[in-house]
C-alpha cells in the first residue's frame, strides 16, 4: 500500500496544506495540482515577457521550505507546477533545495508546432463548436496537450525526489505514483481507471475532506485546520480516502460522493490519456472514522487521441459595480442598469456581450431565487466584452457618473472606473496521440 496526499487543488490554494501533510503523518507521495485552462495562458504570457518564468512561482519556495523533511522521510513530490517552462521551474527548485534530485517531463507544450499541424491538415476543430483552428490562428496565446501518468512514472523511475510536469491531467498526478509503485501497464485499464477515479476524488484538495461541501457543513469540525486528502492505494486498484488524524474537516460518504460528481459529464465515459473510467461502477463503503473505501471500478482502453488545451485572444472586457442600500435597493439598481444601457445606446455603442447581475437579489440563483422586494443592499455588476477596445473603454466611463446623476444611495465606487482587461478564451481540440512525444530530463 502507498499513501498519496494532495496538498494543492489549484494555484492559490492554502500554502500551509502541503507543509502540514508532510509534517503531520506518514505519506509516500505528495502531489500538487496547480494548473487550469486559463492558467496556461497566464504563464505563457509570463514566459514571453521573461524566458526564466512561465511556471507556478509559489512552488519552488514551498519545496525549499519542506526539502529537509521530504528528504528525511523519503517523500516524493509530483506537481504540474512547470506550466510552460518546467526546466526553469526545476532550476529554481534546485537553487532553493540543492540536496534534491529533480526531474522534468517535457513535450506537452505545442504552441510552436501549431503552424505545422495546420499545414499537415490537422484542423484541430473546436470540440464545442466544430470550427477549425485556422479561424483564430494568429490569436493563439498557448497550446498544450494533456499528457497522462506514464511519463510521470518514468520520471519517478529516475529516483527523483521532485517531478515537475507541465499540462498533465489532474488525475495523472495520482496515477503516476501507482504505476511506478505497482508496475501497472497501459493494458491494465481497470486498474488505471481506479487510479484515475482516486485522483479525481482528491484533485480539488480539501473539497473531498469537507471544504465547499453541502452536506452538514454547519457541523464540519475545525475548518481553520482542515485536513487535506490522502489516498491509501492498493495494487489491486482498491483504495481508501482519508486524512491525517487530528486534522479538521471530515471524510465521509457524503464528502466523497459530492467530489465524485465534480466536473463530471458522461459518467460511463470519463476520458483521460491513460484510459476511460466508468464512474457507474464505483462502490463506496465507510471504513471507519474519516475513511471511505472505494472498490469495483472498471474501465476501458485509452482512445487514439489526446486533448489539446488552446487559449487565444478574444477581445477585451470591463466589469463595474455599484452598491445601492435600502430602501428600494433592487429598484435603484435596476434603474441604474437601465440608465447605463440607454446611454450606451445613445452613443451607438454595441458589444459582442453585455450582462448585468444583481447581487443580494438573484445573482447566484437567477429566476430560482425567492422573491425579496426589500433586501438591505443590492450590488449591480454590469460588464461588456468586445474586440473593439475603445468601445469597452468608453463603457467604463458610464458607470461612475451615476453616483451623482443616478438613483440615490450609491456606494462602493472607491476604485473608480473599472479596468479594461484582455479576454483569453478557451479552444479544446483533439490530436492523434502519436503526435505528442514526451521525454524526461533530470535537471542538474
CATH of the domain at 335: 3.30.70
| pLDDT (0 to 100) of residue 45 | 84
Q: Are residues 273 and 356 both part of a single domain?
A: no
| pLDDT (0 to 100) of residue 100 | 98
Provide the mean pLDDT of the chain: 96
Over residues 41-64, the pLDDT tens digits come to 789 889 888 999 999 999 999 999
Q: Are residues 282 and 342 both part of a single domain?
A: no
Q: Residue 438 falls within a domain, yes or no?
A: no
Q: Are residues 363 and 284 both part of a single domain?
A: no
Quick one: the chain helix, strand, coil %, rounded to 5? 35, 25, 40
Report yes or no: 28 and 4 within 8 Å, Cβ to Cβ. Answer: yes
Q: Residue 293 pLDDT > 90, yes or no?
A: yes
Average pLDDT on 157-172 reads 97
Q: Is 12 exposed, middle or buried (0-12, 13-18, 19+ CB in 10 A)?
A: exposed
Distance (Å, rounded) from C-alpha 195 to C-alpha 203?
Answer: 12
Q: Determine the length of the chain.
A: 444
Q: Residue 137 pLDDT > 80, yes or no?
A: no
Q: Which of 270, 303, 336 is the last residue of a domain?
A: 303
Q: Residue 433 falls within a domain, yes or no?
A: no
Count the domains in the chain. Answer: 2
Instruction: Record the pTM.
Output: 0.94
Q: Are residues 324 and 346 both part of a single domain?
A: yes
- What is the domain range of residue 297? 2-108+146-303
Q: Are residues 166 and 195 both part of a single domain?
A: yes
| pLDDT (0 to 100) of residue 241 | 98
441 vs 78, 159, 433, CA distance in Å? Answer: 14, 12, 21
Q: Residue 38 pLDDT > 80, yes or no?
A: no
Confidence of residue 36 (pLDDT cuts 50, 70, 90): confident
Amino acid at each position: 500500500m502507498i499513501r498519496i496526499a494532495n496538498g494543492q487543488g489549484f494555484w492559490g490554494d492554502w500554502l500551509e496544506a502541503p507543509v502540514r501533510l508532510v509534517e503531520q503523518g506518514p505519506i509516500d507521495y505528495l502531489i500538487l495540482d496547480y494548473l487550469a485552462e486559463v492558467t496556461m495562458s497566464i504563464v505563457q504570457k509570463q514566459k514571453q515577457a521573461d524566458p526564466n518564468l512561465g511556471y507556478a512561482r509559489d512552488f519552488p519556495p514551498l519545496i525549499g521550505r519542506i526539502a529537509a523533511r521530504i528528504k528525511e522521510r523519503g517523500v516524493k513530490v509530483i506537481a504540474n507546477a512547470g506550466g510552460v517552462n518546467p526546466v526553469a521551474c526545476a532550476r529554481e527548485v534546485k537553487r532553493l533545495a540543492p540536496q534534491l534530485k529533480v526531474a522534468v517531463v517535457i513535450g506537452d507544450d505545442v504552441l510552436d508546432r501549431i503552424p505545422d499541424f495546420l499545414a499537415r491538415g490537422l484542423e484541430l476543430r473546436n470540440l464545442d463548436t466544430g470550427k477549425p483552428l485556422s479561424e483564430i490562428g494568429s490569436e493563439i496565446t498557448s497550446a498544450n496537450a494533456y499528457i497522462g501518468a506514464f511519463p510521470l512514472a518514468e520520471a519517478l523511475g529516475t529516483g527523483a525526489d521532485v517531478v515537475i510536469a507541465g499540462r498533465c491531467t489532474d488525475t495523472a498526478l495520482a496515477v503516476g505514483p501507482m504505476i511506478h509503485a505497482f508496475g501497472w501497464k497501459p493494458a491494465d485499464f481497470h486498474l488505471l481507471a481506479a487510479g484515475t477515479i482516486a485522483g479525481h476524488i482528491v484533485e480539488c484538495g480539501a473539497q473531498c475532506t469537507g471544504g465547499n461541501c453541502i452536506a452538514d457543513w454547519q457541523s464540519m469540525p475545525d475548518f481553520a485546520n482542515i485536513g487535506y486528502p490522502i489516498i491509501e492505494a492498493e495494487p489491486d486498484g482498491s483504495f481508501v480516502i482519508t486524512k491525517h488524524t487530528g486534522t479538521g474537516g471530515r471524510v465521509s460518504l457524503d464528502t466523497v460522493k459530492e467530489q465524485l460528481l465534480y466536473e463530471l459529464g458522461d459518467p460511463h465515459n470519463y476520458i483521460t490519456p491513460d484510459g476511460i473510467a466508468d464512474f457507474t461502477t464505483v462502490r463506496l463503503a465507510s471504513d471507519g472514522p474519516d475513511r471511505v473505501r472505494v472498490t469495483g471500478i472498471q474501465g476501458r482502453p485509452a482512445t487514439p487521441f489526446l486533448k489539446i488545451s488552446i487559449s487565444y485572444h478574444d477581445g477585451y472586457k470591463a466589469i463595474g459595480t455599484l452598491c445601492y442600500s435600502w430602501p428600494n435597493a433592487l429598484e435603484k439598481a435596476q434603474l441604474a442598469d437601465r440608465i447605463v444601457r440607454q446611454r450606451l445606446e445613445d452613443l451607438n455603442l454595441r458589444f459582442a456581450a453585455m450582462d448585468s447581475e444583481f447581487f443580494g437579489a438573484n445573482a447566484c440563483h437567477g429566476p430560482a431565487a425567492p422573491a425579496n422586494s426589500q433586501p438591505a443592499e443590492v450590488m449591480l455588476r454590469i460588464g461588456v466584452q468586445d474586440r473593439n477596445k475603445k468601445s469597452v473603454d468608453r463603457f467604463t466611463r458610464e458607470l461612475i457618473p451615476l453616483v451623482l446623476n443616478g438613483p440615490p444611495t450609491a456606494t462602493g465606487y472607491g476604485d473608480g472606473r473599472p479596468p479594461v482587461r484582455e479576454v483569453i478564451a478557451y479552444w479544446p481540440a483533439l490530436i492523434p496521440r502519436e503526435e505528442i512525444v514526451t521525454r524526461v530530463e533530470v535537471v542538474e
